[in-house]
Amino acid sequence: MKTICFYFQVHQPFRLRRYRFFDIGEYHNYFDEFANRSIMRKVAEKCYLPTNKLMLDLINEFGSRFKIAYSISGTALDQFEMYAPDVLVSFQKLAETGCVEFLAETYSHSLSSLKNRAEFENQVTAHSDRIKELFGKKPKTFRNTELIYSDEIGAMVADMGFKAMLTEGAKHILGWKSSNYLYNNAINPKLRLLLKNFRLSDDIAFRFSNHGWSEWPLTAEKYVSWLKKIEPRDEIVNLFMDYETFGEHQWEETGIFNFMHAFPRKIFNDGHFEFLTPSEAAEKHQPVSILHVPHPISWADEERDLTAWLGNDLQDEAFNNLYSFTDRISRIDDSDIQRDWKYLQTSDHFYYMCTKWFSDGDVHKYFNPYDTPYEAFINFMNILSDFTIRVNNKMKEQGVPNSSTPEEVASMLKTLEEKVKELKEFQKMNAPKKKRVAVKKAPIKKAIKNKVEDKVKPKEEKTKSQKTNKGSEPKKVKGLNNLKSTTLKKR
């Protein structure tokens, strides 16, 4: 009997508010409270609550024969508690059935596995503890952010005690092999790998409501007929997708709920398949070979690589600047800074900076609240500039040695200035032709430098400097006004 493994990713980021250059050093609230609350409630009503009810009804109808798995990011769990406690209760009811497995992942749905092992392990531990606290069981299976996986990442996961891990069945990795088997990690063979069947998964997640698709409309009967056509020797079909597929990405009007309601019944009527959780599937089936993945893969886009998050200079610059804080954050005892550090690591912030506007452009635009990747970058870097000031001030307040240097701060300023220039060029090329107010380079450069220096210098030095430079203030303000009107994001 072949195994069907249904896994759903549940995630919501803490979205950033529009953070202006002039907010640096003045305001430390980075997150858009209204957007986060309203989006969570909207998705709760359209997806989480009705889909959880559907899953609970299916479990009540079929008992232990119907099983599913979830990975809920820590940021989603936090938002459930803040904005949608009814959703959290509905997941807890599913947990009580014993037919649902909750997986571990990074707490903030971060890319820490690519940058810092200690931070990665800390987040996984924090998430596992949270899952046990809320749902009563410590996770046995691991699912990394966006199914990101490599041999080295798998070895780290195995070292943390996990027996199984989910990842993408990427064609360029598998070659002639099939995703419908279990595999071993190349460094630590004790870790078993479950690979997503991307074609059958994406038929539901992406193509279900596409009227231009040759297989539309997709019914449960048709889908089960495809499952029956897989190779007789294949052992497992892993159907991995975003939970928001139900009701949010595919609206109720498309028939997605009716499809899911009918699907288990058609499976059981056929008699050739069973539903198992990832940990159960990993225990039942034996791996057929080692899977070599020397470079990281993911489940995103056609390339199944990292370019959705780390594919251009904007993303790389923001990513490297963010993780330059790792050592300093670990030595600071401040809950607000620790919270912001955690939420700023969410992978969505880098996804918004993606410049891929070809084969996967529509997908990126659908999930992006910014008009351009440059806007996402400038907004994020403005926040990091303020975060730098807060971290340095807190280290000084707590007597913690500061490893950052003036050169590092100057480097960040230089990068920000260069990206502002790139943004201006981008806006110039794409804006309708009209008379534009020119901004001299010198006032901009001087304005940025003076503002940052003003935020980081000691109070008494600041007072002295204000007296000394009193005569030059009008010129400085003029430069900043020009910067505000021409280089920052559209108001």
pLDDT score recorded for residue 89: 98
DSSP bridge pairs for 192:
164, 184
pLDDT single digits (tens) 184-222: 999 999 999 999 999 999 999 999 999 999 999 999 999
Residue (of 146, 131, 73, 133) closest to 100 by Cα position: 131
Structure tokens at 289: 């070979």
As its CATH architecture, domain 2-291 has Alpha-Beta Barrel (3.20)
pLDDT single digits (tens) 116-151: 999 999 999 999 999 999 999 999 999 999 999 999
pLDDT score recorded for residue 381: 97
The terminus-to-terminus CA distance of the chain in angstroms comes to 59
pLDDT score recorded for residue 476: 38
Please tell me the distance from the alpha carbon of residue 38 to that of residue 294, in angstroms, as a whole number.
41
Active-site residue (options: 101, 105, 119, 146): 146
Selection from 102-111, 299-308, 398-407 with the highest mean pLDDT: 102-111
Residue (of 149, 194, 140) closest to 299 by Cα position: 149
Give the torsion sign (CA, 222, 102, 347, 186): negative
| Residue 393: exposure state from Cβ atoms within 10 A (0-12, 13-18, ≥19) | middle
How would residue 425 be classed by pLDDT, with cut points 50, 70 and 90?
Answer: confident
Please tell me the distance from the alpha carbon of residue 175 to that of residue 294, in angstroms, as a whole number.
14
pLDDT score recorded for residue 459: 44
pLDDT score recorded for residue 433: 56
How would residue 300 be classed by pLDDT, with cut points 50, 70 and 90?
Answer: confident
Distance, C-alpha 328 to centroid of its chain: 23
pLDDT at 483 over 70: no
pLDDT at 44 over 90: yes
pLDDT score recorded for residue 461: 47
Position with higher pLDDT, 317 vs 440: 317
pLDDT score recorded for residue 478: 36
Q: In this structure, how many other beta carbons lie within 10 angstroms of the beta carbon of residue 193?
A: 23
| Residue whose token pair is 């199914």 | 147
How would residue 399 be classed by pLDDT, with cut points 50, 70 and 90?
Answer: confident
Please tell me the distance from the alpha carbon of residue 73 to that of residue 89, in angstroms, as a whole number.
16
Using alpha carbons, list the distances in angstroms from residue 455 to 332, 392, 459: 20, 11, 9
pLDDT score recorded for residue 379: 97
| Residue whose token pair is 């992006």 | 368
pLDDT at 487 over 50: no
pLDDT at 398 over 50: yes
Alpha helix (H) ranges present in 63-116? 74-83, 85-96
Structure tokens at 121: 């392990």
The pairing of strands 141-143 and 192-196 is unpaired
Predicted structure pTM score: 0.82
Full strand arrangement of the beta sheet holding 141-143: 141-143, 164-168, 192-196, 182-185, 289-291
- Taking every pair of C-alpha atoms in the chain, what is the biggest distance, in angstroms? 86
Average pLDDT over residues 95-124: 97
Above pLDDT 90, what percent of the chain? 75
| Residue 26: exposure state from Cβ atoms within 10 A (0-12, 13-18, ≥19) | exposed
Residue spans per domain, the chain:
2-291, 311-431, 433-491
pLDDT score recorded for residue 303: 84
| Residue 32: exposure state from Cβ atoms within 10 A (0-12, 13-18, ≥19) | middle
Selection from 253-267, 322-336, 350-364, 421-435 with the highest mean pLDDT: 253-267
How would residue 409 be classed by pLDDT, with cut points 50, 70 and 90?
Answer: low
Residue 285 per-residue DSSP state: S
Structure tokens at 41: 């409630």
Which helix H or strand E contains 29, and what residues bound it?
Answer: none
pLDDT score recorded for residue 465: 46
Structure tokens at 138: 């410590």
Residue (of 367, 422, 278) closest to 12 by Cα position: 367
Residue (of 155, 162, 165) closest to 128 by Cα position: 162
Q: Is the peptide bond before 232 cis (omega within 30 degrees of 0)?
A: no
pLDDT score recorded for residue 137: 94
How would residue 458 be classed by pLDDT, with cut points 50, 70 and 90?
Answer: very low
How would residue 301 be classed by pLDDT, with cut points 50, 70 and 90?
Answer: confident
How would residue 426 be classed by pLDDT, with cut points 50, 70 and 90?
Answer: low
Concatenated DSSP letters of 217-258 = SP-HHHHHHHHHTS-TT--EEEEEEEGGGBTTTB-GGGTHHH
pLDDT single digits (tens) 158-183: 999 999 999 999 999 999 999 999 99
pLDDT single digits (tens) 328-382: 999 999 999 999 999 999 999 999 999 875 444 454 455 678 999 999 999 999 9
146 is catalytic: yes
Report the mean per-residue pLDDT for the chain. 87
How would residue 406 be classed by pLDDT, with cut points 50, 70 and 90?
Answer: low
pLDDT score recorded for residue 393: 93
